[in-house]
Amino acid sequence: MSPPRTALIAITSAKFPMYPEGKNTGLFISEALHPFNVLSKAGFEIDFASENGEWVPDWMSEQEDYLNGDDLKQYQDVNSPFRKALAKCAKADDVDPKKYGVFFAAGGHAALIDFPGAVKLQQIASTIYKDGGIVSAVCHGPAIIAGLDSEVIKGKKVTGFTKKGEEDLKVLSTIEDDWKRKIVADYAKDVGAEYVSPAGPWDAFIVTDGRLVTGANPQSAHKTGEGIIEAFEKL
């Protein structure tokens, strides 16, 4: 029996001022929106959840370079399917993992703050995987792997935002010194996974290892959604 054609998009509930004038990091909008659109078009029902049921947008992700055209229209329209689903963002404690065939963790630098210790979201992801579903993440979303059950992640190939990308953005010291957190590649090493880097930090790039699908950066969000569907259709 195939898993339910429903997806849970996990988003960060953390925020931290890391941009000019104290603007916060949080959910990177396109990293949730693009997979949402791809999965919706493929007939998936989609819900959102964060560890505590709250979220804030990443300021940078709302800027024109990252959010424009139809993406911007969908985000600004509070009656769009995307915004309606976001408005119902659940607390992880209230989520029944048995309802879902896909778990997808969106990114934003804030994911590095709460995802490594997001026990409830990690339990949901591990349960969906054990029940035969797909686990996926993009950019900083793969920080969720820090607490996944070993059968989900150990020995698997994964990708995520690169150290070079953190250096280019001049935030590596913020992550390691201020937040006391690690980059995605280090979390992968900790759990016995193999981190695979894209050729460049901003190249669209995904890695599929069985029922585990990961993407490298915001540019990979749409492709990650496609990878989820491809893996799901093989179940």
**Which residues are known catalytic residues?**
139-140, 166
CA distance 205 to 219: 8
Please answer whether residues 149 and 226 qualify as being in contact, where contact means their C-beta atoms are separated by less than 8 angstroms. no
| Measured distance CA(125)–CA(101) in Å, rounded | 10
Q: Is 21 left (phi over 0), alpha (psi -120 to 50) or beta?
A: left
DSSP labels, the chain: -PPPSEEEEE-----EE-SGGGPEE-B-HHHHHHHHHHHHHTT-EEEEEESSS---B-TGGGSTTTS-HHHHHHHH-TTSHHHHHHHTPEEGGG--GGG-SEEEE---TTHHHHGGG-HHHHHHHHHHHHTT-EEEEETTGGGGGGGS-HHHHTT-EE--S-HHHHHHTT-HHIIIIIS----HHHHHHHTT-EE---SSTTS--EEEETTEEEE-SGGGHHHHHHHHHHHHTT-
